Amino acid sequence: MKQVRITVIRKASYTDLSEKYENPIEHACDLKEGQVFISENAQMPEGMCGSAWESLSPFVLTLACGGQDFYDGWMKDPKSAMISCNDGLRPVSFLIEAI
């Protein structure tokens, strides 16, 4: 299996939605833009958010097994994907790449 690099590209925060719909929480997301993780054998890297991993893992597994070209040419690099976590209030965008 190939290693897969997971890079935090962008973090967003929709405070207006949080104020309207979410109960206050102290600590939401520790990830930092530019942070890099390496997945070995399509396993969740240490320090990766479990919720984000649920969104990323099918794509990581495909890339680790040599798959590519998601959605018929969606990405310029066919051995990559741009995936966001499932947090609708604080979405994080990740670039995942087979290495």
pLDDT digit string (tens) for the chain, length 99 residues: 999 999 999 999 999 999 999 998 877 788 999 999 999 999 999 999 999 999 999 999 999 999 999 999 999 999 999 999 999 999 999 999 999
Q: In the prediction, which pLDDT does 2 show?
A: 95
CA 63 to chain centre: 13
Question: From the CB of residue 61, how many other CB atoms can be counted at a distance below 10 Å?
Answer: 16
> Helix, strand or coil for residue 5?
strand
Total structural domains in the chain? 1
Q: What is the DSSP letter of 60?
A: H
pLDDT at 57: 98
Q: Return the pLDDT at 25.
A: 82
Instruction: Answer yes or no: are the C-beta atoms of 85 and 52 closer than 8 Å.
Output: yes
Domain boundaries, position 13:
4-98
